[in-house]
């Protein structure tokens, strides 16, 4: 059986690699030639623990290859990005482009799975588009019928290779037969339970999972602002409240980053704008948190004659190198513009150079931990990387005059 995985990003590539190591014949498809070349060399173009071993093994065995062209296959897994447009409406153009390319290859009988996080109705939309392009594939005839399903990914970046195998999985079919066939495919590597439903419920389930987290992080972020005004230590407050058997408050931070939790809730808002009050407000609360941190750091820096501000962390969360939609990045970018005479010493052990938006700034430098601790008079902790634990940095004995700890790591 041949499986084509379209989109070799953070989800598509691990899925392609794991299917191939189960002995399936897998072809990965990506529009980026550099990604295709890297995969064919058995190299991972981004950081994800253990993926390299799976990928190199699969390519060496001859079960996985990559191409920029969509091939004929028995099953397709579409794992392309679904960003949103300026007005927060979902942008389905990548799904549509993938659908158009695979439509040309179909002969009938194929299984077509949408894995990309999608607004409710996207799987049906993809199916209609493919069927409109291929009216010759009679859907009343067993031989030319196509099988569509939505199987959202739920893996946590940094733990993808483990969670792909162990997480339960939701499979939503446009028909029962499609769901059953998709289940058989995921059973080749997924040891979690595979739960069958319809496509729209599966689409919504994924959005709801990430919105649940967003709303709960917003609650923690709002608490941190209220506590700051009332001069209460929010970390202690949450620790104590969480001793209640039915309370489990998440952790405040500098804002919500990444390309999932800060995006997916908008798809629900877009689907029911007049009803999604809480979900929309949570997005606004989390999106406003970086500005609150910026104002706080500026106020501290203004109390120092010559501010040298150490920034601990740029990634969107702990112990990864991913800077996409990172609140830390936004904060440094804005601080360096707002306080051009201050120096910003950025410590980010997971990257080798500053990202494009910061590299040309005269007042921003990437430095090692020791240099930052030695030279800075203001310290701002933005990411709770293990490297920043208080056994590596002692913010009390360091020469910092002010500390802004957005993650509660140095409390």
Q: Would you name the residues annotated as active-site residues?
A: 206, 260
Phi, psi for 37 (deg, rounded to 5):
-65, -45
Could you tell me the smallest distance in angstroms from the CB atom of residue 236 to ligand SAJ? 16
* Residue 59 to residue 42: CA distance in whole angstroms: 6
Q: How many residues bind ligand SAJ (CB under 6 A)?
A: 20
Comparison of 46 and 139: residue with beta carbon closer to ligand SAJ: 46
* Maximum distance among all Cα pairs of the chain, rounded to whole angstroms: 79
- Comparing CB distances to ligand SAJ, the nearer of 268 and 373 is 268
Does residue 204 bind ligand SAJ (CB under 6 A)?
Answer: no
What residues from 16 to 55 belong to the interface with ligand SAJ (CB under 6 A)? none
Query: Quick one: the chain helix, strand, coil %, rounded to 5?
Result: 40, 15, 45
The piece of 60-68, 94-102, 209-217, 332-340 that touches ligand SAJ (CB under 6 A) is 209-217
Q: Which stretch binds ligand SAJ (CB under 6 A): 34-42, 96-104, 120-128, 205-213?
A: 205-213
**Residue 389 binding ligand SAJ, by CB under 6 A:** no
- Window 297 to 326, contacts with ligand SAJ (CB under 6 A): 316-317
Residue 209 CB, shortest distance to ligand SAJ, in Å, is 4
Taking Cα atoms as reference points, which of 50, 62, 54, 51 lies closest to residue 24? 62
**Nearer of residues 173 and 253 to ligand SAJ, judged by Cβ:** 253
| Binding region for ligand SAJ (CB under 6 A) out of 120-128, 149-157, 173-181, 299-307 | 149-157
Considering only residues 223 to 282 of the shown chain, the ones binding ligand SAJ according to CB under 6 A are 250-251, 253, 256-258, 260-261
Taking CA atoms, 52 is separated from 30, 46, 81, 93, in Å, by 18, 10, 22, 30
Q: For residue 133, count CB atoms less than 10 angstroms from its CB and return exposed for 0-12, middle for 13-18, buried for 19 or more.
A: middle
DSSP string over 305-372: SS-EEEEE--SSSTT----TT-HHHHHHHHHHHH-TTSEEEEE-TT-SS--HHHHT-TTEEE--HHHH
* Closer residue to ligand SAJ, CB minimum distance, 257 or 307: 257
Residue 297 CA to residue 293 CA, distance in Å, equals 6
Task: Write the binding mask 114 to 143 for ligand SAJ: x where contact by CB under 6 A, - elsewhere.
Answer: ---x--------------------------
Q: Calculate the alpha carbon distances from 298 to 214, 224, 337, 340, 380 in Å.
A: 27, 18, 11, 11, 11
293 lies in the site for ligand SAJ, by CB under 6 A = no
For ligand SAJ, the binding residues (CB under 6 A) are: 117, 153-157, 209-210, 213, 217, 250-251, 253, 256-258, 260-261, 316-317
């Amino acid at each position: 059986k041949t499986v084509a995985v379209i989109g070799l990003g953070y989800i598509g590539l691990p899925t392609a690699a794991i299917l191939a190591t189960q002995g399936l014949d897998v072809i990965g498809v990506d529009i980026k030639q550099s990604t295709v070349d890297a995969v064919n060399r058995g190299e991972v173009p981004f950081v994800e623990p253990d993926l390299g071993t799976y990928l190199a093994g699969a390519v060496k065995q001859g079960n996985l290859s990559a191409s920029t062209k969509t091939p004929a296959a028995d099953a397709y897994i579409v794992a392309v990005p679904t960003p949103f447009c300026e007005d927060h409406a979902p942008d389905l153009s990548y799904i549509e482009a993938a659908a158009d390319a695979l439509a040309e290859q179909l002969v009938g009988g194929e299984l077509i799975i949408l894995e990309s996080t999608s607004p409710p109705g996207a799987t049906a939309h993809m199916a209609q588009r493919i069927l409109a392009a291929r009216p010759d594939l009679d859907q009343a005839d067993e031989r030319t019928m196509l099988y569509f399903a939505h199987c959202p990914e739920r893996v946590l970046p940094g733990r993808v290779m483990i969670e792909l195998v162990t997480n339960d999985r939701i499979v939503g079919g446009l028909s029962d037969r499609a769901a059953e066939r998709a289940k058989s495919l995921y059973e080749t590597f997924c040891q979690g339970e595979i739960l069958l439903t319809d496509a729209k419920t599966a689409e919504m389930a994924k959005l709801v999972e990430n919105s649940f987290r967003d709303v709960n992080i917003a609650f923690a972020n709002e608490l941190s602002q209220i506590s700051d005004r009332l001069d209460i230590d929010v970390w202690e407050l949450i620790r104590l409240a969480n001793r209640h058997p039915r309370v489990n408050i998440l952790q405040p931070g500098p804002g919500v980053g990444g390309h999932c939790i800060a995006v997916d809730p908008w798809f629900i808002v877009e689907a029911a704008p007049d009803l999604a009050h809480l979900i929309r407000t949570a997005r606004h609360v989390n999106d406003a948190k970086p500005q609150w941190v910026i104002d706080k750091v500026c106020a501290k820096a203004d109390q120092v004659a010559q501010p040298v501000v150490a920034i601990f962390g740029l990634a969107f969360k702990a112990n990864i190198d991913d800077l996409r939609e990172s609140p830390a990045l936004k904060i440094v970018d804005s601080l360096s513009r707002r306080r051009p005479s201050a120096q910003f010493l950025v410590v980010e052990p997971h990257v080798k150079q500053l990202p494009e938006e910061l590299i040309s700034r005269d007042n921003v430098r990437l430095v090692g931990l020791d240099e930052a601790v030695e030279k800075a008079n203001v310290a701002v902790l933005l990411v709770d990387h293990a490297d920043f634990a208080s056994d590596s940095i002692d913010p009390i004995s360091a020469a910092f005059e002010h500390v802004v700890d957005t993650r509660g790591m140095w409390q």
